Amino acid sequence: MTGAPVIVAARRTPIGTAGHALAGCTAADLAAAVIADLAGSLGDVPLREVVLGNCMGPGGDVARVAALQAGLPVTVPGLTVDRQCGSGLAAIVLAVAQLRAGETGAVLAGGVESASTAPWRMWPPRGDAAPVRYERAPFAPADVGDPDMGPAAELVAREAGIDRVAQDAYAARSHARAVATQQAGGFAAELVPVAGLDADERPRATLTVERLGRLRSAFEPGGAVTVGNSCGINDGAAAVTVVDAGTHRELGVPGLRVLATATAGVDPRRPGLGIVAAARQALDRAGLGLDDVDVVEFNEAFAGQVLACCAELELDPERVCREGGALALGHPWGASGAVLAVRLFSQLVRGGAGRTGLAAIAVGGGQGVAMVVETC
């Protein structure tokens, strides 16, 4: 694995609640802030490309727009990818593949989402009917199964036997961990302030199990999934600098060697389980088991979904997102997979929390993306 690409820097914006502190920032605004910060530390390393994931932005090539807005030379191309919630991590997977294939230098890769400024989307009119606004494009064909993420999370949790109490307890723990990390300055080194915001907006010290228990079911009558044990709707960007092995040797800086990546498909009716399939594949390719992993970062879209994945993997939930996850920090869709990579970098490289890390995220439509790294 000594020839594998290496992540040598990782940064993100604070994550804002949609309609609040970052509401005036477009996707390009958010991404440009992170890109400019990472590009400023490259020195003489040639920058080959910018790859960004995005789900709900203005369309076109957001990566190219953000790269130019960040002041990069016009000679640096940009590529925007869409694997829905997995887009940010998928962008990093593409960067790693590009460098494995023989490219040299650096690729900036990550993701961005501005739910606040996402354009309205309309199906064109049929006959005399008016155009119909829709919240999301299809994740899968209707006859295969195309549930909204909330009802899908209810199904996954119910089938795994994860009750409301367990989901609320997990959500409360995520907030408590994020607040503790925030208060200890544990996020400070990874943050690029934007629009006057220098801290994540969502973590709440007062979000206890008791308070969560008073919330109503969000998606099904009598269901266990609520707005309290689900992620928020958020704005933010995150990216990493990936270099080839030779460039890393020349730089001589600490980083995260990418041991393996994986992208998997699962039942579209149970999209949250994409974490399981992708994590297993990535670990197998890295020649590791979960017991060999020091830091585990799963995207916490829903507490019940994460707990169901942990049960399937026979993984102690206490090991997941030890500094708080998306339930507390937020889930800026296209950026969230890249946020996981930033969190691994902070804990393993900056914080010395161990040697190996696993990041994994589930995707609407029944997919999962995962990455295994080690310090070097």
Question: How large is the average pLDDT for residues 98-107?
Answer: 96
Q: Of the residues 231, 321, 331, 376, which is catalytic?
A: 331
Distance, in Å, from the CA atom of 290 to the CA atom of 295, rounded to the nearest integer, reads 10
pLDDT score recorded for residue 1: 66
pLDDT > 70: what percent of the chain?
100
pLDDT bin (cut points 50, 70, 90) of residue 136 is: confident
How large is the average pLDDT for residues 106-114? 98
Answer yes or no: is pLDDT of 59 > 90: no
In the chain, the percentage of residues whose pLDDT exceeds 90 is: 94
Instruction: In whole angstroms, give the CA distance from residue 123 to residue 330.
Output: 29
Q: What is the CA radius of gyration of the chain?
A: 19
Distance CA 295, CA 43 (A): 30
Interval 280-309: pLDDT, tens: 999 999 999 999 999 999 999 999 999 999
d(CA 89, CA 83): 9
Instruction: Report the alpha-carbon angle 205-272-206, nearest 5.
Output: 10
Give the pLDDT score at 137. 86
Q: Whose structure tokens read 């549930």?
A: 147
pLDDT mean across residues, the chain: 96
Measured torsion, CA atoms of residues 78, 84, 86, 91, in degrees rounded to the nearest 10: -10
Residue 134 pLDDT grade (very low, low, confident, very high; cuts 50, 70, 90): confident
Where do the domains of the chain lie, and which CATH numbers do they carry? 149-185+260-375 (3.40.47.10)
Q: Which of 25, 55, 85, 310 is catalytic?
A: 85
Residue 231 is a catalytic residue: no
Q: Work out the average pLDDT over 356-376.
A: 98
Contact in structure between 336 and 88 (CB atoms under 8 Å): yes
Task: Return the structure tokens found at 329.
Answer: 């920090």
Q: What is the DSSP string of 146-185?
A: ---HHHHHHHHHHHHT--HHHHHHHHHHHHHHHHHHHHTT
- Tens of pLDDT, residue by residue over 223-257, are 999 999 999 999 999 999 999 999 999 999 999 99
- What is the mean predicted confidence (pLDDT) over 309-323? 98
Average pLDDT over residues 184-202: 97
85 is an active site residue:
yes
CA distance 205 to 146: 35
